[in-house]
Structure 1
Amino acid sequence: MNNQEPTPATRTGLDVAKEFIRAVEAKDIEAVARTMADDARQLFMHTRGATTSDGVTDIIAGRRRAVCVADVKGKSEVLAYTSALFDKFTPLLWRGHEWRVSPDGGELFFHGIGDMVVARTGRPYRNTYVTRFDIENGRIVLMAEYGNALMYAGLGVRPNGAEFRALLRAVGRMLSPRLSSRSGR
């Protein structure tokens, strides 16, 4: 995957997305909050295709679809979900940070390999992620995280209230004629 130099119009968005990743890795919830719009959403899209270079390229190009398994709605829920991650994983890191900007400059993509340990069990967790960031007015409005959700579920970590609501909302997306359960939008 090649890192692309952002255009001046996307540089601020790329800086915001990078700050989000740094803040999560540092377990700094205040810094995470500064990157988020009040109506931010975070979608978790199940796909095994994010684990290969071709899969990353396919996701970025929109050729690979996934199934939404969690729909976190609003800044407060995103922060509650993120805070739970801080407790569940030590450390909470991604290796091999790679960034791409879509050809039109409207979307930013992060690719990283989790290098985490489940705090409760000491079990390693090595999922591969592609996260699309949509940023407006210097704040994250949507993150669509593509990865193997079954690998995460297999860890047996207990969902908090925000995560449980997000799981139920994802089921609703599957039934809704208005919201897509496969596009990451």
Structure 2
Amino acid sequence: MKRILTAFIFTAIATVFPTYIASGNLERDPLLAEGFEKKNFNSQRQIPTFNSVDEIVPRSSAARVVKEFLQSLEAKDTNAIALLWSQDAAVEVPYDLQGRSFPNREAAQRYIEEVIQPFSEIRFERIRLYQTRNPNVVIIEGQGDFTIAEDGRSYRNTYISVFQTKGNKLSLIREYFNPLIIARTFGVDLNPTLQESEVKFFAPPSQGLHLSQVTEVDPFKIALPGDEMCRSVFVRSWMIDSSYQRQAQVPFLKDGQQTLKKMKQDFPNLWDMYTLIIHPSYAELGQALGFQKTCSDPKLPLYWIYQAVDRYLKLDMQKAMSKSKG
């Protein structure tokens, strides 16, 4: 999925990192299955902080596999990473902005390749490695300091990842990060939706919420390139720092137009754009861009707005934004 810097998504993302890691599945929740006790957290002060991946001193075979994975990630060596997966490997990303999961080895590898692709440099610092009572489970906490290849900007986020190994191979990575930082840095995806998901655009808007509620299941299913039955794109949420909002809007909108043009090559019958108005302050921006209100929620102050893709692509963004005070 293409990550873009675009300014026509009209709501903000908020999230809270859980105070515990649990999914209810003991097989996929090794911390609970093996009794990850409170005393592990109380001993944090005794855990060293490493300034780089190379400085990590592994004290178990699982930690050695994790260090090798992080070194390969920093080196952008996808071939080396491919050799580290177990046959039943999976990656779970609870705060993925598209609500995706990666349930097998092939999907896990594609996710890592997608993560690496935008960056010219990947580096982790202030790393803490937590050993658990399960010798096959390691938790890594660290600061990511990445450089975006396209424009040299810095992307910094805090990561907490649970690694589970099997036979000196990675069988599970569960990765947590702050999605608000991703939204501020990259914007958020334009999501081409499967035809079966289009009914959601005509249902109460609260049924289309996902990120703001941190629900387990994304109500929208994403279409794959080449899907001629894909007719609609769901524009998800973004956030721009208020001090930069006015100067950033037009470049973001123009970038969004270019991305939509490229998307139409993959989805030739892409006609409709939908997004949610969650906060009234964004209504004027939607009107300036030609969006029309379609469906309100009976219980919450939310409503869907619509614009035709072709009309959006023809907009003069500078002129459109001159009509908006937002």
TM (normalized to structure 1)? 0.65
State the match for 2:314 in structure 1: none
Which has the larger helix fraction? 1
How many residues get paired?
143
Secondary structure of the residue aligned to 1:45 is: coil
Which of 76, 82, 88 pairs up with 1:27? Answer: 76
Q: What's the counterpart of residue 117 of structure 1? A: 147
Alignment partner of 1:138 is 2:168: yes
Between the aligned partners of 2:175 and 2:85, the Cα distance in structure 1 is 15
Corresponding residue for residue 238 of structure 2: none
1:91 alignment partner, SS class:
strand
Question: What's the secondary structure of 1:108's corresponding residue?
Answer: strand
Matched residues in 1 for 2:98 and 2:152: separation?
28
Does the Cα contact within 8 Å between 2:144 and 2:158 map onto a contact in 1? yes
Decide whether the 8 Å contact of 1:6 with 1:101 is kept in 2: no
Q: CA deviation at 1:150?
A: 2.5
The SS at the match of 1:116 is strand
Change (3 A) 1:157 1:24: farther
C-alpha deviation, 1:72, in angstroms = 1.5
Change (3 A) 1:121 1:115: same
Query: What is the Cα deviation at residue 18 of structure 1?
Result: 0.9
Call closer, same or farther: CA 1:6–1:20 in 2, change over 3 Å.
Answer: closer
Deviation of residue 106 (structure 1)? Answer: 4.2
Alpha-carbon distance between aligned partners in 2 of 1:158 and 1:75, rounded to the nearest angstrom: 26
Does the Cα contact within 8 Å between 2:136 and 2:166 map onto a contact in 1? no
Greater C-alpha radius of gyration: 2
Distance in 2 separating the partners of 1:27 and 1:14: 20
Which letter does structure 1 place at the counterpart of 2:164?
Answer: D
2:223 matched to 1:174?
no
1:88 Cα deviation after fit? 0.5
Q: Which residue of 2 aligns with 1:91?
A: 121
**Gaps spanning 5+ residues in structure 1: where?**
48-66, 165-170, 177-185
> Contact 2:58–2:64 (CA<8 Å) still a contact in 1?
no
Q: 1:77-99, CA deviations, whole angstroms, 9 ceiling, x for partnerless residues? A: 22222222222012111112221
Question: Which structure dedicates a bigger proportion of its chain to strand?
Answer: 1
Change (3 A) 1:6 1:118: closer
User: Identity percentage over the alignment?
Assistant: 23
CA RMSD of aligned residues (A): 3.1
- Shift, 1:40, TM fit: 1.1
User: Structure 1 pair 139/38, CA: closer, same or farther in 2 (3 Å)?
Assistant: same
Structure 1 pair 38–154 and aligned structure 2 pair: CA distance change class (3 A): farther
Distance 1:32 1:158, change over 3 A: farther
Please identify, of 15-24 and 98-107, the stretch whose mean Cα deviation from structure 2 is larger: 98-107
